[in-house]
Amino acid sequence: MRMILIFGIVAVIILLALSYPIAGLFGWAWFTMMQPHRETWGMEGFRLNLIIAVFSIGAWLISREPKAFPPTAPHIFILIFTLWVIASQIFSLKPNVSYEYTDRYIRVLAMIFLCAAMLHNKVRVHALVWVICIAIGYFGIKGGVFTIITGGNYRVWGPTDSVIGDNNHIGAALAFIIPLLNYLRLQSQNRWLRAGLVGAIVLTFFGVLGSHSRTAFLALFAGLALMWWRSRHRLVLVAALAPIAVIGLTFMPEHWHERMETIRAPDQDASFMARVGMWKLAIEAGTANPVTGIGLRVIYVQEIADRYSAEPLVSRAIHSSYLEILAGMGYPGLILFMGLIMLAVRDSFWIRRHSKNKPDQEWAFDLASMAQVCLIVYGVASLALSMEFWQGPWMLFVVLSQVRWQLAKQGAATRPAGSRFRKRPAGSAAPASNTVPRSSQRTAEGGPP
């Protein structure tokens, strides 16, 4: 029954995409992040998100939708980053190993370019945020209920064999969408919808705790700290969040608290020290191959790990998005990736500054504010988790770039006719000045003309 339902949903998305390519984009975003077919037995091997992507791109190519994306700095960085992913595959030390991850990255980035081309108004941006929150929020609500029912004794997991399937990764993804859920709450007019979003936020918070992920826990509270600092109603925010945090923390079992306590003494935790060993190995591999790296995830091959490790080390996940990219793509890849995060931060500050105290752009101000919290969560989580393939932050990079582009165009269109930043139509006369010429001033004062 579930299989028939999934195939039916895919068919509907494809039919809609043929007439409205943006529907295909939203369908892909939902499908690739939520992976609903992995909730159904026997469908794990179906690449349904790829089928949706192909039909969506094809429909976009033959539609009247814009075929180019705005030439913003983030879009250019994404383009260069894509080319560097290809270069890392060409010069990979183990092309057969890195190809799987290169293929995955290229497919994600191709759809990110489609986002850049089609997210050209507020409605589409807002809709994409809804899609992201629905896709990941499903696991937040489900995980929160599971955590409450089981008393927090078992871990919350993401969709099987996906980028966020691991408990650490789903925990970070849930922490990432909490600010976006709050943005939707701020923008919702219906009180029942706002109440539902508050409930989703609370359950997602329990879902983060239920993941038993120390990295997600730290990332979430780093984001909440920024949210509190930026709030104009700090006491109200504390009054709202403190009871939830206290109840959540006291609710979790003793072994959860023991796990979180290891954050204070990381050098005594075997898991953390194993990560440190892999971090050193990634730096060695990246430094030895500084231009294109050794290929995506090639460092996982024991033979390659032995080549760059100064001491015996069992190869495993690097647990750092930054060092994964350094080892796999070299220093240019790392610079591009970190540059994209910094450009997103820059865009969020620009949006806040230019939309502040403007009622018609309040949505942009709220989105940029919550996006900053998302970026903090992702930035902190990426220090100790390999989440460079996850689609969420890449969509956010494009959303912020597109919103800034839209606001800049609106600002240019509404500037006074005589503004130095607005071009006059060719052949039009210069605007009349309200300034009285000096000669006239002197004549009016009784002086010589």
Rg (CA), the chain: 25
What are the Cα distances from residue 95, in Å, to 213, 227, 278? 33, 43, 21
**Structure-block tokens of residue 73:** 């700095």
Who has greater pLDDT, 90 or 234? 90
Arithmetic mean of pLDDT, 205-222 = 95
Letter string b/e over residues 271-300, b meaning 16 or more CB atoms within 10 A of that residue's CB: ebeebebbbbbbebbbeebeebbbbbbbbb
Per-residue pLDDT reduced to its tens digit, 268-320: 777 788 888 899 999 999 999 999 999 999 999 999 999 998 788 888 889 99
Per-residue pLDDT reduced to its tens digit, 357-405: 999 999 999 999 999 999 999 999 999 999 999 999 999 999 999 999 9
Who has greater pLDDT, 38 or 201? 201
Predicted model pTM = 0.88
Per-residue pLDDT reduced to its tens digit, 89-141: 999 999 999 999 999 999 999 999 999 999 989 999 999 999 999 999 999 99
DSSP labels, 96-160: HHHHHHHHHHHHHHHHHHHHHHH--SHHHHHHHHHHHHHHHHHHHHHHHHHHHHHTT-S----ST
What's the CA gap between 155 and 207, in Å, rounded? 9
Quick one: pLDDT at residue 397? 97
Quick one: pLDDT at residue 445? 44
Do the beta carbons of residue 329 and residue 292 sit within 8 Å?
yes
Quick one: pLDDT at residue 441? 43
State the angle between helix axes of 167-187 and 122-150 in degrees (0 to 180), rounded to the nearest 10: 130
**Structure-block tokens of residue 112:** 């990110």
Within 10 angstroms of residue 80's Cβ, the number of other Cβ atoms is 15
What's the CA gap between 370 and 167, in Å, rounded? 24
| Residues 6 or more apart in contact with residue 286 via CB below 8 angstroms | 293, 294, 323, 326, 327, 330, 331, 334
What's the CA gap between 366 and 23, in Å, rounded? 25
